[in-house]
Amino acid sequence: MLSSVTLREVADEAGVHYSTASRALNPATRSIVNAKTAKKVLAAAERLGYRPHPLARGLRTNRTLTIGMAVPDLLNPVFPQLYAGAEASLRDQGYWLLVGAGDDCGTPKSASRILIDQHVDGLIVANAHIHSTLPQNPTNQTAPTVLVNRTTDTIDAPSVACDDHAGIGLVVRHLVELGHTDIAHIAGPQFISNGVIRRQAFVAWMHSSGLETPPELIVETDGFHIDEGRRACERLLDSGARFTAIVGANDLMALGCYDVLAERGIRVPHDVSVTGFDDMAYIDRVHPAMTTVSVPFYEMGALAGEVMLTLLTSEDSGAGTLPTSTRLRPHLEVRDSTAPPAVS
């Protein structure tokens, strides 16, 4: 049984920051803490009856205490949030997190490959494509791996992602309740799980609301970027198809729609409602503030870090673990980019 005394309580008792307490309690990192401080923390832990996380015992000695995280694109503000969550939960146990960026999972020199070559103890993969494979480390073994944000058909590793199906359901129901029936979808790339699942969910929720999804109202893109959103929105408008709302597969693509609609004198939400997906930083401050599916990226990153710690512990103990797939529940943030359809 693990002790019910938390690391934070030990830190408070010793009067130090919890990260200092964490390092002092971990034999592998104790030497980097001032000796007097370490003594104070250990005394506090003994007084309170603190029993450390299993990971703090039995650490392999060849560990670098560094985890790598491969992200597709740091310029999309959701990935820094994901990083911050993972970094916090790993730091708490004396691990450090390095990031490599590039949406090139599976290429000979992908971000994952680079991180493995740097001898990280584990890999958190946030840039997987559906058919991605994992690089192996120099001894031809696969490092402990956690998939986050995106899932794959090919990698047998635990994953932490958003419940995209539920998220699209929130958005479609919101638009239907406002009275929309002609709803378009700007879909993400179909080689990325989030693109596929959100597209499938859009069709499924529309049909279960008794609504049609004519092919000209679903436009696929090559990337979750503003430019791709622009291109798709232009195609949608140029097709001449009638619609009163657009469900964007993420916030950046919905921002691309904002730009094209503004250029053509089409008002959001008066003429067309627009929704995003992610609730990325600052999207509540754009004009109009965007209605979007709020994904708990920080918590998702933190949980991915926790799962990584569990993998490392089971590697230490030699016990196997069954890969788990966790999907976090998003919620809808209704803001100013959605309204009832204009009477025409």
Site string for its own copies, 189-218 (x = CB under 8 A): ------------------------------
Considering the complex, what minimum distance in angstroms separates the CB of residue 150 from its own copies? 19
At residue 188, the 3 state secondary structure works out as: coil
Task: Please tell me the count of residues contacting its own copies according to CB under 8 A.
Answer: 36
Q: Where are the alpha helices (DSSP H) in 66-134?
A: 78-91, 111-117
Nearer to its own copies (CB atom), residue 68 or residue 158: 68
Q: How far apart are CA 164 and CA 330, in angstroms?
A: 8
Q: How far is the C-alpha of 303 from the C-alpha of 218, rounded, in Å?
A: 33
Shortest distance, position 219 Cβ to its own copies, whole Å: 23
Site string for its own copies, 284-313 (x = CB under 8 A): -xxx-x------------------------
Which of 271, 274, 265 has the alpha carbon at shortest distance from 342?
A: 271
Token match 């100013």: residue? 336
Give the range of 52-60, 75-83, 145-153, 186-194 binding its own copies by CB under 8 A: 75-83
Sole window of 79-87, 130-138, 267-275, 305-313 interacting with its own copies (rule: CB under 8 A):
79-87
Distance CA 121, CA 224 (A): 30
CB 322 within 8 A of CB 183: no
Q: Alpha-carbon distance 267 to 160, whole Å?
A: 37
- What are the C-alpha distances in Å from 123 to residues 75, 195, 241, 329? 21, 23, 45, 24
- Tell me how far apart the alpha carbons of residues 268 and 257 are, in angstroms, rounded to a whole number: 10
164 near its own copies, judged by CB under 8 A: no
Given candidates 14, 25, 80, 151, which one binds its own copies under the rule CB under 8 A? 80
CB of 138 to its own copies, least distance (A): 13
**CB-CB contact of 157 with 325 (8 Å):** no
Structure tokens at 331: 């919620």
User: For its own copies, which residue of 52, 54, 57, 64 counts as binding (CB under 8 A)?
Assistant: 64
For residues 163 and 135, give the distance between their C-alpha atoms in angstroms, rounded to a whole number. Answer: 27
Of residues 25 through 54, those in contact with its own copies by CB under 8 A are: 29, 32-33
Select the residue interacting with its own copies from 13, 87, 103, 164 (CB under 8 A).
87
Give dist(CA 173, CA 293) in Å, integer.
Answer: 12
Q: Which of residues 97-136 bind its own copies (CB under 8 A)?
A: 97-101, 108-109, 111, 114-115, 117-119
Residue 224 C-beta: closest distance to its own copies, Å: 15
- Based on CB atoms, which residue is closest to its own copies, 242 or 287? 287
Residues in contact with its own copies by CB under 8 A are 23, 29, 32-33, 64, 66, 68, 74-75, 77, 80-81, 83-84, 87, 96-101, 108-109, 111, 114-115, 117-119, 255, 281-282, 285-287, 289
